[in-house]
Amino acid sequence: MTVRRRLEPYLWLLFSGGGVVAALTLPVLVLLFGVLMPLGVVAWPSAAHLRALVDAPLVRGAVVVALTLCLFHAAHRIRFTSEELLGLRRWDALVAVLCYGAAVAGGVTAITLLF
């Protein structure tokens, strides 16, 4: 007897992982690049410094993972919001493929650009 496994728990896992990554990283980035650096409290990093930081494979991998998780978080929210608010429940399969497909495409694009 084969047990049919559902994909939904894994999508919720990616959703929650993306929420955690977004909650931990985005406020810091907004504070640094949106408030402290424009006010002159913290100096802007030089292009050479940023290039040296992104040249490390571990940093590239972390950026890809963080970006992909954030994209899956957004895809999950868009999918369920469109079903509830816009009444697109009957097209759930199409909306899911579009949302999660866009998240996968964004992750592949990040990998292509960074590696």
* Residue 3 scores a pLDDT above 80: no
- Does 3 fall in a domain? no
Q: What's the whole-number mean pLDDT along residues 1-20? A: 85
The enclosing domain of 73 has a CATH number of 1.20.1300.10
- Does 2 fall in a domain? no
Q: Which amino acid, 50?
A: L
Round the average pLDDT of the chain to a whole number and report it: 91
Supply the pLDDT for residue 1.
65
- Does 88 fall in a domain? yes
- Does 89 fall in a domain? yes
- Does 69 fall in a domain? yes
- Does 1 fall in a domain? no
Interval 71-114: pLDDT, tens: 999 999 999 898 888 888 888 889 999 999 999 999 999 999 99
- Does 40 fall in a domain? yes
Q: Which amino acid, 46?
A: S
* Residue 5 scores a pLDDT above 90: no
Q: What is the pTM of this model?
A: 0.81
Domain that holds residue 74: 8-114
- Does 14 fall in a domain? yes
Domains: count for the chain: 1
- For residue 88, what are the CA distances in angstroms to 15, 76, 97, 111? 20, 14, 13, 32
69 or 88, higher pLDDT: 69
